[in-house]
Amino acid sequence: MSIRVNPRFINDLVLFGAEDVQLCYHCGDCSTVCPHADEVYKFPRKSMRQLQMGLERKIETTLEPWLCYYCGQCSEQCPREAAPGETMMSLRRWLISRYDFTGIAKQFFKSGMTEIITIIGFALLTAVFLFYYGYSMGNIHIYDGKGAFLSSPFIHKFDLTLGSLLLIFLAINAFRMWYFTMIKGTKVPVPWWLYVKELYLLPWHFFTQKRYSECESKRNPKIFMPWIIHLGLMLGYVIMLILVMVFIERLQSGPAIQWQVHIFGYLATIGLVTGTIYIIRNRLNKTYEQYKKSHSTDWVFIVLLFFIVLTGIAQHIFHRTGLYELANITYIVHLMCVVPWLLRMPFSKWAHLVYRPLAMYFAAIRRDAITRREISLKSNSVSIK
């Protein structure tokens, strides 16, 4: 079977962050230290090789980039300083842009300026709309009816519309991912029941990120902080997302907020605040391998999230203490961050929230299919005379 080679692929990938792939001389140290590399999924060296050969069509069908959590041990070991860890990260960025059928993700990854300008544009649009519609007419402490700043049923509807729009985008992208990896990429027949058998992996990996903790299985001393922080950030984010998307009316139901909402909200906030601060600090300090190189999208992601959390907290405090005027303004700033954030979700780093568990799921199915195939080949061996 032939495969098309893109000799400029390695140059294209520079914009996604992989700069030193060409240095690799294939000693295999990275694959050896990687706690996740095994018989079926051998990486990062193999991905480096595919990159050097320009096998763009092959890489889009691989799941290996998603199996890497970037613990950085390969980059620490690399004798050529070819940064295999960063290359896997860049491949993830490239894959996000490849799964995205609109091409917006590609533009965002290639040019940080485009992304920032787009975000500022949408933030300003939101601001104009909110000033015109909300601030000039009402106040934040009035929740419904006349004089309400933005009524909760309105926001709820708005949320759901936006959410379903995003879900459509994400679903299409996830479908493309499935098509690339499982139809084009898996050369062995995959029976349908394997999809059912491994289905438990989706919630398992989504909520525990167990694989991330396994990154440390070979390191001494073990550094579990990135995993815990990442898990806290992700869980906090998901809880907050559910609260905002589904329970926004309870969040805004007047001065007496339900205790359940309160508790979940505060828990989520702890996760979000520690997570964003930890990551921003590490990206500035550059002590750990995985935080040494930061792509523009990494910065946009974490800084925007940090602003959202900060303004959210400020708004909450002002609101509770009765500084309604200030609360109004912070609320507007908060929404100025939230709206672009939500809009760019399927086209950004955020999408790995969906792709990574999916990749684990697909990887397990592919592994099962390959083992099944090998067993059947062994039992029905063809003898050649």
Partner 1 sequence: MRTGVFFCQVENGKNLNIDAIAKYTANLPGVEFVQILGTAPRIEVNVLTDLIKMKSLERVVIAGDMPGYFKPVFTKAMALAGGNTDEIQLASFKERGASGEYAQDRAKAVIACASMAVPFSLVAVPAGNPVNHSTLIIGAGIAGIQAALEIANAGKQVYLVEQTGTIGGHMAMFDKTFPTLDCAACILTPKMVSVGQHEMIHLLTNSNVTEVTGKPGSYRAKIHQRARRIDVKSCVSCALCVDVCPVKVESEFDAKISLRKAVYIPFPQAVPNAFLVDEKNCTYVLSGGKKCGVCVNKCPKECINLDETDKIIDIEVGNIVLATGYELLDVGKIEQYGYGVYPDVLTSLEFERLTNASGFTGGKIVTKTKRFNKRTQQEEWFFSPDGVPPRNVAIIHCVGSRNKKYNAYCSRVCCMYSLKFAHLIKEKIPNVNCYEFYIDMRAFGKGYEEFAERIKQGGTFVIRGHSAFVTMNNGQMVVRGEDIINDKMVEFKVDMVILAVGLIPASGNEELSRMLGITRDSDGWFSELDYNGSPTDTEKGCIYVAGMCQGPKDIPDTVAQAAAVAAGVLRTITSGKGVGHLSSVTLNEIEARAKNIHTISGGHYVNQS
Give residues in contact with partner 1 (CB under 8 A).
25-33, 37-39, 42, 45, 77, 79-81, 218
* DSSP states along 318-338: HHHHT-HHHHHHHHHHHHHHH
Nearer to partner 1, 26 or 230 (CB): 26
The number of C-alpha atoms within 13 Å of 137 and in the hemisphere containing its C-beta is 15
Nearer to partner 1, 75 or 181 (CB): 75
User: Torsions phi, psi of 228, nearest 5?
Assistant: -60, -45
The least CB distance from residue 291 to partner 1, in Å, is 20
The least CB distance from residue 77 to partner 1, in Å, is 6
Nearer to partner 1, 185 or 357 (CB): 185
The least CB distance from residue 31 to partner 1, in Å, is 4
The number of C-alpha atoms within 13 Å of 80 and in the hemisphere containing its C-beta is 18
The least CB distance from residue 80 to partner 1, in Å, is 6
Task: Assess contact for 98 and 56: CB atoms under 8 A.
Answer: no
**Cis ω for the linkage preceding 84 (within 30 of 0):** no
The number of C-alpha atoms within 13 Å of 222 and in the hemisphere containing its C-beta is 11
Contacts 24+ apart (CB under 8 A), 279-286: 279/229, 279/233, 280/306
Nearer to partner 1, 45 or 98 (CB): 45
Nearer to partner 1, 45 or 295 (CB): 45
Nearer to partner 1, 32 or 371 (CB): 32
Task: Assess contact for 210 and 125: CB atoms under 8 A.
Answer: no
Nearer to partner 1, 43 or 109 (CB): 43
Q: Vertex 226, ends 51 and 18: CA angle to 5°? A: 20
Task: Assess contact for 92 and 85: CB atoms under 8 A.
Answer: no
Length of the chain: 385
The least CB distance from residue 24 to partner 1, in Å, is 11
Q: What are the C-alpha distances in Å from 312 to residues 5, 94, 272, 289?
A: 48, 32, 11, 31
Judged by DSSP in three states, 139 sits in strand
Q: If 0-12 CB within 10 Å is exposed, 13-18 middle and 19+ buried, where does residue 27 land?
A: middle
The least CB distance from residue 29 to partner 1, in Å, is 4
- 241: amino acid identity, one letter: L
Nearer to partner 1, 23 or 329 (CB): 23
Distance CA 61, CA 105 (A): 18
Nearer to partner 1, 73 or 252 (CB): 73
Task: Assess contact for 243 and 316: CB atoms under 8 A.
Answer: no
